[in-house]
């Protein structure tokens, strides 16, 4: 069997050993500030979604019930009451506080006083709360009053909370806060999408398609 002659590289004894240049570390794909933005966007998206989960879920469900109020029309109940107040409360300066407390204690009327109007021969006031309303008309001469109390049911309560109607300032602040949370969750989701190279284009196209679809529905079918 013939022997293979493997040629060895010739080394010039006068040159000495050659130095092999060291490899430079590869530069990171994204600068530090971009990675920091991605980390903050991920943190905001995860934790704001969890903190606001209950209120976002509430507004999602009540958006459906609000759009189909006819499903819950049978929940409404109306009651009427009659009685007579002390005429002294209605003479001269009407004793508004005493009248309100009397009606609350005797008929368990809830809600905040929406208005209290006093005319020459009649006084009227109304109580309102989410899904609830009570109207009172009082004859100033005799003190006789009529009460109409309407309880619209749980679905109406949820719908009024969704709209912030007759729900007070604290609930209004909660609605504002939930809007801020939803804005941050949406923006942080878009920022995270921009860092996903494989899904960036398709995600942006899906978002644009959703916006265009909403615009078309508004332009063609909203009166």
- Mean pLDDT is lowest, of 129-133, 142-146, 178-182, for 178-182
Percent of the chain at pLDDT exceeding 70: 87
pLDDT, tens only, 18-75: 555 556 555 556 678 777 877 777 887 788 788 888 888 998 899 999 888 888 888 8
Q: Is the pLDDT of residue 14 over 60?
A: no
> Do residue 107 and residue 165 come from a single domain?
no
Residue 130: which domain range? 77-151
Average pLDDT over residues 153-158: 92
Contacts of 32 (CB under 8 A, 6+ apart): none
pLDDT at 1 over 70: no
Q: What is the band of 213 on the pLDDT scale with cuts at 50, 70, 90?
A: very high
Same domain, 102 and 65: no
Q: Is residue 219 part of a domain?
A: no
165 pLDDT higher than 60: yes
Confidence class of residue 185 from pLDDT cuts 50, 70 and 90?
confident
**Pair 108, 173 in one domain:** no
In a domain, 17, yes or no: no
Whether 189 and 139 map to the same domain: the answer is no
**CA-CA distance, 107 to 62, in Å (whole number)?**
30
Average pLDDT over residues 150-175: 92
* HSE of 55, CA atoms in CB hemisphere, 13 A: 17
- What strands, in cross-sheet order, belong to the sheet with 77-84? 77-84, 144-151, 132-139, 122-129, 112-118
The reply to whether 174 falls in a domain is yes
- pTM value is 0.73
């Amino acid at each position: 069997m013939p022997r293979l002659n493997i040629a060895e590289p010739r080394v010039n004894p006068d040159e000495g050993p050659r130095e092999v240049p060291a490899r430079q570390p590869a530069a990171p794909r994204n600068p530090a500030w971009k990675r920091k933005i991605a980390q903050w966007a991920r943190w905001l998206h995860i934790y704001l979604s969890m903190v606001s989960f209950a209120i976002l879920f509430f507004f999602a469900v009540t958006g459906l019930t609000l759009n189909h109020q006819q499903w819950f029309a049978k929940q409404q109940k109306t009651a009427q009451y009659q009685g007579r107040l002390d005429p002294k409360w209605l003479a001269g300066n009407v004793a508004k506080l005493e009248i309100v407390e009397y009606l609350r204690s005797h008929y368990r009327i809830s809600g905040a006083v929406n208005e209290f109007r006093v005319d020459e021969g009649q006084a009227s006031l109304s109580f309102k709360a989410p899904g609830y309303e009570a109207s009172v008309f009082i004859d100033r001469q005799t003190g006789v009053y009529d009460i109409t109390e309407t309880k619209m049911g749980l679905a109406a309560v949820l719908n009024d909370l969704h709209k912030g109607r007759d729900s007070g300032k604290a609930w209004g602040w909660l609605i504002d806060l939930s809007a801020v949370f939803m804005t941050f969750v949406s923006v942080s989701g878009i920022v995270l999408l921009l860092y996903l190279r494989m899904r960036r284009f398709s995600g942006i196209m899906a978002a644009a398609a959703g916006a265009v679809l909403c615009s078309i529905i508004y332009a063609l079918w909203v009166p």
